[in-house]
């Protein structure tokens, strides 16, 4: 593209547009292995700037790549058009509604900073990625992010109530839950917004289409998933089935990785700060299979955390000075551990929950030890679990745990069979793998240990 054309655009923006080689190189990657050098990097100051960028992109037929912290793992922020980084100026927390437990904010607010701000309101935003100290809400919506807390607080899609967006024609449109009547009123609009409502209705109304979508998507019980656009969430609405909740296009936008609209404001449903009394039981197993068998019964309890670490990852913490201290609770040489955290508003309530969980663990009889951790010890165990991923890089020798089968989620009842099949494949190739992380959500990180 002609440099003058881009310079003209730059002159129209209140924010900035960087066209130099260094800026373009810096924004050529995210946290993935992909790389494409963009035409330039825009830092919009406000909605007006984004409208100008969208209209420019439309006129010149180039892509816009919305970006917040750029911690995406699959090239979501990589492209040849203009990267639009909203993390510099669009960082305002606009309004908290304590009664409704909601917050309205701009996309560039950092997840952990939001929760620090919300503390005084006794509220918090549940979804919790490993990158929560730097990732931003715009990107969490884009990726439908989740993390260790998803078994208790759900994924980002569950929390998005309303999105203010800019569509491809530059129009500003707010999406939120609509009754079937309100939806049909929207269909009458003569605008791109009206066309979106009409097209979605027409495309999805046929029962055969709905059947195919339901058949093609993963089981409803698999909560953590981003299998393309969430059209299954649209058909599960009162527009097509009176027994369901009202349709909300935000469910489709959430997880659409910036490909459908540019978000300028987000309204989130919040939760009350988690109960203050907690205890963690760490079950120890002689085999990986035994740990997986225990996941289903323990998940019948109201767990706030159900995370797994296997021997390979535990061994990586052995030679690390800092993490040695956090291994204080490990008994013997387990093939796998499950970290099971309970929380309650009262000490008595917590003891009751703990007693019931221990009963389940004893009944299954699969674990050989189950120490109970309290207070600061729980944080140490969580630090050990979080450190595992980074420490995998310290494996001695040429064989390394390669990140090539990340974030695969299955229904809990299928977890053991899925892992058995995976282990069988590894065995056939004479390979071993690392198994760890979100067992309670049916999602394990599986890293084959390969000499590349
Ligand atoms: C070490 C590591 C651990 C991770 N752990 C987790 C984890 O536990 N759980 C998890 O879910 N993810 C995880 N991730 C992936 C990533 O960190 C998260 O998905 C994070 O929430 C992305 O936020 P971000 O601000 O970096 O978004 P970005 O990467 O900047 O953007 C994410 C997507 O949102 C789109 N987007 C951003 N802003 C807007 C906007 N204003 N309008 C429209 N679209 C927009 C982007 O185009 C992109 O498609 C991990 C990544 C790393 C590197």
Q: How far is the CA of 407 from the centre of ligand 1 (A)?
A: 14
Angle at which helices 412-428 and 288-298 cross, to 10°: 170
* Residue 271 alpha carbon to ligand 1 centre in Å: 21
Tell me how far apart the alpha carbons of residues 108 and 110 are, in angstroms, rounded to a whole number.
6
Structure tokens at 356: 């019931």
Query: Which atom of ligand 1 sits closest to the CA of residue 142?
Result: 34
In this prediction, residue 223 carries a pLDDT of 84
- The per-residue pLDDT for 401 is 85
Give the tokens for residue 174.
Answer: 């707010």
Q: Is 282 helix (H, G, I), strand (E, B) or coil?
A: strand
| Position in ligand 1 atom list of the atom nearest CA 138 | 38
Angle at 75 between CA 74 and CA 78, to 5 degrees: 170
Which residues lie with the beta carbon below 6 Å from any ligand 1 atom?
Answer: 30-31, 65-73, 76-77, 86, 107, 129-131, 135-136, 138-140, 142-143, 145-147, 257-258, 262-263
* E strand or H helix at 95: strand 93-97
* 72, 134, 260: residue to mutate for ligand 1 pocket, most atoms within 8 A of CB: 72
Nearest CA to ligand 1 atom 9: 129
Closest CA to 123 of 146, 148, 140, 103: 103
Which amino acid residue places its CA nearest to atom 22 of ligand 1?
Answer: 139
Count Cβ atoms below 10 Å from residue 449 Cβ, excluding itself. Answer: 17
Angle, CA of 48, 49 and 50, to the nearest 5°: 90
Rounded CA separation 302/282 (Å): 16
Ligand 1 pocket: which of 46, 110, 138 to mutate (most atoms <8 Å of CB)?
A: 138
Rounded-to-integer distance, Cα 113 and Cα 295, Å = 33
- pLDDT at residue 249, as a whole number: 98
Q: What is the pLDDT of residue 3?
A: 86
Q: Could you identify the residue written with the tokens 């208790």?
A: 152
Considering only CA atoms, which residue is closest to atom 15 of ligand 1? Answer: 72
Q: How far is the CA of 426 from the centre of ligand 1 (A)?
A: 30
Q: Give the separation between CA 114 and CA 110, rounded to whole angstroms.
A: 6
- Contact predicate 227/212, CB 8 Å: no
> Tokens 């440099």 — which residue?
3
Q: How far is the CA of 143 from the centre of ligand 1 (A)?
A: 5
Q: What pLDDT is recorded for position 378? A: 96
| Domains along the sequence of the chain with CATH | 3-85 (3.30.43.10), 93-271 (3.30.465.10), 277-450 (3.30.70.2190)
The answer to whether the CB of 418 falls within 8 A of the CB of 410 is yes
Question: From the CA of 58, how far away is ligand 1's center (Å)?
Answer: 25
User: Which of 58, 13, 62, 14 is CA-nearest to residue 39?
Assistant: 62
Q: What is the pLDDT of residue 140?
A: 98
* pLDDT score for 272: 95
The secondary structure of residue 399, as a DSSP letter, is -
Euclidean distance between CA atoms 298 and 13, whole angstroms? 55
Closest CA to ligand 1's atom 27? 139
**Which of 20, 83, 78 has its CA nearest to residue 57?**
83
pLDDT tens for the chain, residues 1 to 452: 888 999 999 999 999 999 999 999 999 999 888 999 999 999 999 999 999 999 999 999 999 999 999 999 889 999 999 999 999 999 999 999 999 999 999 999 999 999 999 999 999 999 998 889 999 999 999 999 998 889 999 999 999 999 999 999 999 999 999 999 999 999 999 999 999 999 999 999 999 999 999 999 988 888 888 878 999 999 999 999 999 999 999 999 999 999 999 999 999 999 999 999 999 999 999 999 999 999 999 999 999 999 999 998 899 888 888 888 999 999 999 999 999 999 999 999 999 999 999 999 999 999 999 999 999 999 999 989 888 777 877 778 888 888 778 788 999 999 999 999 999 999 999 988 999 889 999 998 888 988 88
Atom of ligand 1 nearest to the CA of 141: 34
Whose alpha carbon is nearest atom 8 of ligand 1? 129
Residue 254 buriedness (CB in 10 A; 0-12 / 13-18 / 19+): buried
């Amino acid at each position: 593209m002609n440099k003058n054309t881009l310079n003209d655009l730059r002159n129209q923006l209140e924010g900035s547009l960087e066209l130099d080689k260094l800026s373009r190189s810096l924004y050529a990657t995210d946290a993935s292995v992909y790389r494409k050098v963009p035409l330039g990097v825009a830092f919009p100051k406000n909605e007006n700037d984004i409208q100008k960028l969208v209209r420019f992109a439309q006129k010149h037929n180039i892509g816009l790549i919305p970006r917040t912290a750029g911690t995406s793992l699959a090239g979501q922020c990589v492209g040849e058009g203009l990267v639009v980084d909203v993390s510099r100026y669009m960082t305002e927390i606009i309004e908290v509604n304590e009664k409704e437990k909601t917050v309205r904010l701009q996309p560039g607010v950092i997840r952990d900073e939001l929760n620090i701000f919300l503390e005084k309101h006794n509220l918090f935003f549940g979804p919790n990625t490993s990158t929560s100290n730097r990732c931003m809400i715009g990107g969490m919506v884009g990726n439908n992010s989740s993390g260790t807390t998803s078994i208790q607080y759900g994924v980002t899609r569950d929390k998005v109530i309303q999105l203010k967006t800019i569509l491809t024609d530059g129009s500003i449109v707010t999406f939120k839950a609509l009754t079937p009547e309100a939806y049909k009123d929207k269909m009458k609009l003569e605008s791109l917004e009206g066309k979106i409502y009409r097209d979605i209705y027409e495309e999805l109304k046929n029962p055969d289409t709905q059947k195919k979508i339901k058949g093609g998507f993963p089981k409803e019980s698999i909560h953590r998933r981003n299998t393309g656009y969430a059209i299954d969430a649209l058909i599960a609405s009162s527009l097509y089935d009176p027994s369901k909740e009202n349709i909300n296009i935000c469910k489709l936008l959430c997880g659409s990785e910036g490909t459908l609209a540019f978000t300028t404001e987000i309204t989130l449903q919040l939760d009350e700060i988690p109960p203050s009394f907690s205890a963690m039981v760490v079950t120890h197993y002689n085999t990986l299979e035994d740990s997986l068998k225990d996941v289903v019964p323990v998940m019948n309890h109201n767990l706030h955390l159900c995370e797994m670490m296997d021997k390979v990852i535990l061994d990586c913490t052995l030679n690390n000075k800092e993490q040695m201290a956090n291994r204080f609770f490990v008994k013997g040489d387990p093939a796998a551990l499950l970290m099971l955290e309970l929380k309650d508003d009262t000490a008595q309530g917590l003891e009751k929950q703990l007693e019931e969980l221990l009963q389940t663990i004893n009944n299954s009889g699969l674990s050989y030890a189950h120490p109970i951790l309290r207070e600061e010890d729980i944080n140490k165990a969580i630090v050990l679990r979080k450190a595992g991923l980074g420490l995998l890089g310290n494996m001695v020798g040429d064989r390394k745990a390669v990140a090539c089968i990340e974030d695969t989620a299955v229904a809990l009842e299928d977890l053991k069979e899925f892992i058995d099949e995976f282990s069988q494949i590894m065995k056939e190739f004479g390979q071993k793998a690392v198994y760890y992380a979100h067992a309670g959500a049916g999602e394990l990180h599986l890293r084959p240990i390969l000499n590349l």
